[in-house]
Structure 1
Amino acid sequence: MSEKKKKEKGVYSYYKIEEGKIVRLRPFCERCGPGYFMADHGDRYTCGHCGFTRYKTKAGSQKNKTP
């Protein structure tokens, strides 16, 4: 069997550098505060520390408020 490729670990996978500025790729948890990143699960973000879940909103799925 071939060996599996190792994934990038640590805080390097949570940030990206664009035009000389550091950009956060995942949001912080609203309950736990700065330093606790939320995991990206496709349609939602989840905090592994407290279990808080925030669902991603889609641009086309928002309800029209005017009749």
Structure 2
Amino acid sequence: MANLFEQNRNYVLGDPELELLGDRTKLAQWRHKGMGPAFYRLGRKIIYRGADLNAWAEANRVDPGAEGRA
């Protein structure tokens, strides 16, 4: 799997790389609904680990060619 995010980096809201997933509003909706990638809440600060972002992206990967294969 190719990593979309740096494994050992922490990402905070406002980092342009997070826009691959969606804007701040979309990420806030996912957190509220218990969806999306794992995150840390430190006071009012939201932190995403690169390893968690990559794991979430891989878990949500769709391979259209694999649908019809058995």
Q: TM-score, normalised by structure 1?
A: 0.28
Answer 1 or 2: which has greater helix percent. 2
Structure having greater relative contact order (Cα 8 Å, sep ≥ 6): 2
What TM-score results when the alignment is normalised by the length of structure 2? 0.28
Which of the two has greater strand per residue? 1
